[in-house]
Amino acid sequence: MATAERDGASLPQWILLLPRGRVDLVDSREPLEVDEESLQALVKDFRSRGVDLVIDYEHQTLLGERAPAAGWIKDLEARGDGLWARVEWTPQAQEYLQAREYRYFSPVLRLDPQSRRPRVLMHVGLTNVPAIKGLTPLVAKMGAQYRASRKEETGKMREKLKHALGLSPEAEEEAVWPRVLEVFQDLALVLKLPPEASASQVKGAVTALKAGAGRLTEVEQEVMELKARLAEAAAAQAVSAAMQAGKVSPAQKGWALEYFRQDPEGFKTYVARAPKLVPTGEELPRLKPDRDGDGLLLPEEVALCRSLNVPPEEYLKAKARGASGPTNIGGEERWQD
pLDDT tens for each residue of 75-94 = 999 998 899 999 999 999 98
Per-residue pLDDT reduced to its tens digit, 5-18: 333 346 767 888 89
Mean per-residue pLDDT of the chain: 78
- Report which of residues 67 and 309 the model is more confident about: 67
pLDDT for residue 15 = 85
pLDDT for residue 214 = 66
When pLDDT is cut at 50, 70 and 90, the band that residue 38 belongs to is very high
pLDDT for residue 121 = 93
Non-local (6+) Cβ contacts of 181 within 8 A are none
Given a cut of 80, whether residue 169 has pLDDT beyond it is yes
When pLDDT is cut at 50, 70 and 90, the band that residue 336 belongs to is very low
The residue-averaged pLDDT of 167-186 equals 82
Non-local (6+) Cβ contacts of 86 within 8 A are 13, 14, 73, 74, 75, 76, 77
Per-residue pLDDT reduced to its tens digit, 291-309: 444 456 776 677 777 767 7
pLDDT for residue 246 = 84
The residue-averaged pLDDT of 59-83 equals 88
Task: Output the CA–CA distances (angstroms, integers) from residue 140 to 15, 102, 145, 262, 325, in the order listed.
Answer: 11, 12, 9, 79, 118
Q: Which region among 189-193, 205-209, 249-253 has the lowest average model confidence (pLDDT)?
A: 205-209
Radius of gyration of the chain from Cα atoms? 45
The residue-averaged pLDDT of 116-136 equals 86
Question: What is the residue extent of each domain of the chain?
Answer: 3-154, 283-337
Q: Which region among 80-89, 221-230, 243-252, 283-292 has the lowest average model confidence (pLDDT)?
A: 283-292
When pLDDT is cut at 50, 70 and 90, the band that residue 46 belongs to is very high
- Report which of residues 184 and 39 the model is more confident about: 39
pLDDT for residue 40 = 94
Given a cut of 50, whether residue 334 has pLDDT beyond it is no
pLDDT for residue 147 = 55
When pLDDT is cut at 50, 70 and 90, the band that residue 280 belongs to is low
Share of the chain above pLDDT 70, in %: 78
Q: Which region among 228-242, 255-269, 272-286 has the lowest average model confidence (pLDDT)?
A: 272-286
DSSP class of residue 25?
B
The residue-averaged pLDDT of 123-151 equals 70
295: helix, strand or coil: coil
pLDDT for residue 75 = 94
The span from the CA of 198 to the CA of 337, in Å, is: 93
pLDDT for residue 113 = 84
Contact by Cβ (8 Å): 34, 118: yes
pLDDT for residue 203 = 80
The model scores a pTM over 0.75 = no
Indicate the length of the chain as a whole number.
Answer: 337
Closest CA to 245 of 254, 234, 237, 235: 237
pLDDT for residue 133 = 82
pLDDT for residue 118 = 92
Given a cut of 60, whether residue 156 has pLDDT beyond it is yes
The span from the CA of 299 to the CA of 248, in Å, is: 13
pLDDT for residue 288 = 43
